[in-house]
Amino acid sequence: MPNHVIILKDSYYDSVLLMRISREVKSLAGIEDAAVVMATPQNKSLLSSAGYSDPEMDKAGPNDLIIVVRSTNIERDKIESAIADLLKADRHIEESEHQPRSLTAALRTASEINLAIISVPGLYAAREARRALERGLHVLLFSDNVSIEDEISLKLQALRRGLLMMGPDCGTAIINGKPLAFANVVRSGSIGIVGASGTGIQEMTCCIHRLGGGISQAIGTGGRDLSDRVGGMMTIQGIEMLSADPTTQVIVVISKPPSPQVAESVLKSLAKASKPAVVHFVGANESSLDRKKNAIVFADSLAGAAEAACRLVGFTAGTEAISSIDPGLVSRLSAQLRPDTKLRGLFCGGTTGQEALALLSREKLEIRSNLQKDKTLRITGTQCVSGHVILDLGDDAFTVGRPHPMIEPVLRNERLHLEMQDSEVGVLLFDCLLGYGSHEDPAGILAEGVRSSRAIARQRSTELVAVASITGTELDPQGYQNQKHKLEDADVIVMENNRQAVLLAAAVLKQCASHH
């Protein structure tokens, strides 16, 4: 099957747009696979490892566009014409006073603007963020591929000016009630969040909403903020801002495990704050944390952190920490399965996947994953492996030139079909992410994948148990209940949150194993 490599010089397109263009190109008749990406070193390396190569691709620079297509019988000129039409259609935006094409024009149009969202190639992102900070604007830097040196410089500049520098690679925030990037529509309230994980913020804000609480601010910091080199600068800045914010009564900090030194700095900042606080470091060894900080509650999960925060602001109904699972349900489900049944957890969210890995590991299950720190259990690349497996499908290895699975969940179905070739697979575990930026019907797409998987299982006279949680609210464009009904119609067991879904899957697996 021939590969076509097309280079468009000096043709920058936004990464979110390119995800959608990749999806549309792939849907064209006769095209087996496609990738449309900027020619960053990382993207070129990933394309090469995926089997795409061309001397012109090697020469391309980060401001050039690479289009690679694997097709059955389509001629190159027809591919180029189709892609040109797609790109032209998406760039056909008339300039007007309401659609400025530069920061200067935007500020001239609306001088009250105080926040800039930046999504340009990493090579230029730091420059644009610096310009925004110099204009006195808070910044949400969606772009990735920004050097850590630039990140440190930008955050130091923001600190000097008393501003937020969210990112780089910041995918989620809620500022003054406005969802930014990938975020959910939740009730306004008195719980403020600082988070270095996008889907972690989404899961927590949705849990808080469903418990009756609300969000004052949700400040994303970017995943590297709590590294040793960055030192938690924006996390600490966010804590100080929330401490001074009259609408915030409780401060929550969530992230993947920071270094011990940075964790200590964050906890000291919270201890100095004027308000009670909740902390959850997803996947951390919690026994190693200093729990003697005044007014800090340490949670065991994202849902647990939401419950603790709601209790602190007076919403007690339904906030009891639920760690047990209905034994009758566990018995009924495990009775359908073989004793050697294995798990496949396919996650669109990196933090929900990380939480699943941590919770399953606490249940003494050996999990192979691309999120594993243990090298003996870590999966690299996209190969299928045996045993219990958790995959973060948003990892670069799966998304090069393709939409993120939050944008195009059919990619998860494709992976699910591959995983179902393993006859031991009997328990499936999923997240389902709603909100702005996500696919318009993620549950409907997932339901199709589960039905197909169940048909594969029954062809070999086995059964399949599918468990999911939904990160979303009834205010989201997709609608929580609408999405829940679609999953339940496909016999997916929908749990209240990611923690409960994972604990149910773990209980079923352990009871199956006890049947030996």
Which CATH number characterizes residue 156's domain? Answer: 3.40.50.720
Q: Are residues 280 and 360 in the same domain?
A: no
- Pick the more confident residue, 22 or 154: 154
**Residue of higher predicted confidence among 16 and 98:** 16
Q: What is the overall mean pLDDT for the chain?
A: 89
User: Which stretches within 313-392 are classed as H helix?
Assistant: 327-334, 350-362
Share of the chain above pLDDT 70, in %: 93
pLDDT of residue 42: 74
Domain assignment present for 178: no
Q: Please state, for a pLDDT cut of 90, what percent of the chain lies above it.
A: 65
My answer on whether 390 and 436 are in the same domain is yes
pLDDT at residue 177 is higher than 90 = yes
pLDDT range class, residue 322, cuts 50, 70, 90: low
The answer to whether residue 91 scores a pLDDT higher than 60 is: no
Residue 427 falls inside a structural domain: yes
Boundary residue ending a domain (47, 65, 91): 91
Q: Are residue 482 and residue 368 in the same domain, yes or no?
A: yes
User: What is the rounded distance in angstroms from the CA atom of residue 151 to the CA atom of residue 221?
Assistant: 11
Q: Is there a cis peptide before residue 100, judged by omega within 30 degrees of 0? A: no
Question: Given pLDDT bands bounded at 50, 70 and 90, which one contains residue 97?
Answer: very low
3-state class (DSSP) for residue 181: strand
Has residue 180 been placed in a domain? no
Q: Is 228 contained in some domain?
A: yes
What is the model's pLDDT at position 380?
Answer: 92
In a domain, 304, yes or no: yes
119-133, 140-154, 360-374, 413-427: which has the minimum mean pLDDT?
119-133
250 domain-assigned:
yes
Q: Do residues 80 and 122 both lie within one domain?
A: no
Residues 394 and 284 in one domain: no
CB 204 within 8 A of CB 252: yes
Burial of 475 per CB tally in 10 Å (0-12, 13-18, 19+): middle
Which pair of tokens denotes residue 437?
């930026």
Neighbours of 58 (CB within 10 A): 10
- Report whether 3 contacts 79 (CB < 8 A): no
Instruction: Please name which of 381, 393, 460 lies closest in space to residue 425, comparing C-alpha atoms.
Output: 460
- Which of 138, 169, 200 terminates a domain? The answer is 169
Cα–Cα distance between 125 and 293 in angstroms, integer? Answer: 38
Q: Give the torsion sign (CA, 309, 315, 321, 322).
A: negative
At 48, the pLDDT band (50, 70, 90 cuts) reads: confident
Same domain (yes/no): 84, 114? no
Banded model confidence at residue 516, pLDDT cuts 50, 70, 90: low
What is the total count of domains within the chain? Answer: 4
Residue 99 confidence (pLDDT): 66
pLDDT for 94 beyond 50: no
How confident is the model at residue 63, as a pLDDT? 80
pLDDT, position 89: 65
Residue range 45-51: mean pLDDT, rounded: 79
The residue whose two tokens read 């205010």 is 475
Domain containing 77 — which CATH number?
Answer: 3.30.70.100
Full DSSP string of 139-154? EEE------HHHHHHH
Residues 479, 420 share a domain: yes
**One domain, residues 12 and 132:** no
pTM here is 0.85
Q: What is the mean pLDDT of residues 387-406?
A: 88
Higher pLDDT, 159 or 17: 159
Q: What is the pLDDT of residues 324-365, one digit of tens each?
A: 789 999 999 999 999 999 999 999 999 999 999 999 999 999
Q: Are residues 17 and 136 in the same domain?
A: no
Q: Which domain holds residue 59?
A: 3-91
Report residue 79 as tokens.
């591919």
pLDDT of residue 37: 83
Provide the pLDDT for residue 93.
44
* pLDDT over 70 (residue 506): yes
Q: How confident is the model at residue 174 (pLDDT cuts 50, 70, 90)?
A: very high
**Rounded mean pLDDT of 310-324?**
75
- Can you give the pLDDT at residue 321? 55
Paired sense of beta strands 215-220 and 250-255, if any: unpaired
Rounded CA separation 433/508 (Å): 24
State CA 439 to chain mean position distance: 13
Same domain, 333 and 482: yes
Q: Which two tokens stand for residue 85?
A: 């039409």
Tokens (6 digits) for 210: 């469903």
495 is a domain residue: yes
List the beta bridge partners of residue 183.
436
Q: Which of 320, 347, 377 is the last residue of a domain?
A: 320
Separation CA 414–CA 68 (nearest Å): 20
Q: Of the given ranges (79-93, 178-192, 348-362, 433-447), which has the lowest mean pLDDT?
A: 79-93
Q: Using one digit for the tens of pLDDT, what is the confidence trace for 429-488?
A: 999 999 999 999 999 999 999 999 999 999 999 999 999 999 999 999 999 999 999 999
236, 266 in Cβ contact below 8 A? yes
The mean per-residue pLDDT over the stretch 23-32 comes to: 77
Q: With 90 as the cut, is the pLDDT of residue 78 above it?
A: no
Do 46 and 61 share a domain, yes or no? yes
- Contact yes or no for 497/503 (Cβ under 8 A): no
Decide which of 102 and 220 is more confident.
220
Domain check: are 351 and 483 in the same one?
yes
Q: Say which CATH number the domain at 400 has.
A: 3.40.50.261
CA 95/CA 138 separation, integer angstroms = 25
Q: Is residue 412 part of a domain?
A: yes
Q: Which of 54, 59, 90 is nearest to 69 (CA)?
A: 54
